[in-house]
Chains A and B, each alone.
Chain A
Amino acid sequence: EPEVTQTPSHQVTQMGQEVILRCVPISNHLYFYWYRQILGQKVEFLVSFYNNEISEKSEIFDDQFSVERPDGSNFTLKIRSTKLEDSAMYFCASSQGNQPQHFGDGTRLSIL
């Protein structure tokens, strides 16, 4: 079965540094998402992306965050200047639209 793949599985970064989290969605999917899960808390929506633009974003997704689909296969989340509170598990998901979202295994981001 096709999968959403995320790299790296674990990223350690110094506070204030930029980080890029990478995702390869399922190939025929058109809608892409990022979610985050702070340790011990629920999964929270960050942003959705369709037709090369952001469809919706949450209040968490401020100017420090950006998303990009640089080519036909990758979907990236960039955090410009990381803060301690950005430490979380970040999940990428993709969907065909009117179908359930499929999630990757996540990238654990640790900010030191």
Chain B
Amino acid sequence: AQSVTQPDIHITVSEGASLELRCNYSYGATPYLFWYVQSPGQGLQLLLKYFSGDTLVQGIKGFEAEFKRSQSSFNLRKPSVHWSDAAEYFCAVAPQGGFQKLVFGTGTRLLVSP
């Protein structure tokens, strides 16, 4: 069965510092990969996606993620964190084809300190 692991429940980063959120997946083939962000009381906003091709994908708000097939990972990065980035971040996978269920990780809550 497909699964997604986000090993860090909470991460605290100083404003202006770099960020990396980890995501590992378990799936028989290369799935479609996504990062979503959820601010308190809000819905899920798509940050970026990987379908195929270039393994480094750029998203909104200055985020990027790198797909590493050998490590079954899709880590999210940002070079300089802003206070407004404080939120919950979810990694998700879907089988190739995309129009099927998303399987989400448990999320990582990002706290940004001044």
A interface, how many residues as a size bin? Answer: 20 to 34
Return chain B residues, CB-CB under 8 Å to A99: 98
B residues whose Cβ falls under 8 Å from a Cβ of A: 34, 36, 41-46, 49, 90, 92, 97-107
- Asked if A11 is at the interface of the complex by the 8 Å CB criterion, the answer is no
Closest Cβ neighbor of B106 among chain A residues? A42
Q: A58 to B42, Cβ gap below 8 A? A: no
Within 8 A of B (CB), among A87-102: 91, 93, 95, 97-102
Q: A33 to B104, Cβ gap below 8 A? A: no
- Asked if A25 is at the interface of the complex by the 8 Å CB criterion, the answer is no
Q: A31 to B105, Cβ gap below 8 A? A: no
Within 8 A of B (CB), among A25-68: 31, 33, 35, 41-45, 48, 50, 55-56, 58
Question: For the complex, what is the distance from the CA of A15 to the CA of B12, rounded to whole Å?
Answer: 39
Known: A42-B90, A103-B44. A31 touches B104 (CB 8 A): no
Least CB distance from B46 to A in Å reads 5
A-B contact pairs, 16 of them (CB 8 A): A4-B43, A35-B102, A41-B106, A43-B92, A43-B104, A45-B101, A48-B100, A56-B100, A58-B101, A95-B98, A97-B99, A99-B98, A100-B98, A103-B36, A103-B43, A104-B43
Q: A42 to B44, Cβ gap below 8 A? A: no
Q: A48 to B101, Cβ gap below 8 A? A: yes
Q: B107 to A42, Cβ gap below 8 A? A: yes
Listed residue (A50, A104, A106) with the most chain B CB atoms within 10 angstroms of its CB: A106
Question: For the complex, what is the distance from the CA of A45 to the CA of B44, rounded to whole Å?
Answer: 14
Question: For the complex, what is the distance from the CA of A4 to the CA of B104, rounded to whole Å?
Answer: 19
Known: A100-B34, A100-B49, A103-B44. A43 touches B90 (CB 8 A): yes
Return chain B residues, CB-CB under 8 Å to A86: none
Question: For the complex, what is the distance from the CA of A104 to the CA of B44, rounded to whole Å?
Answer: 7
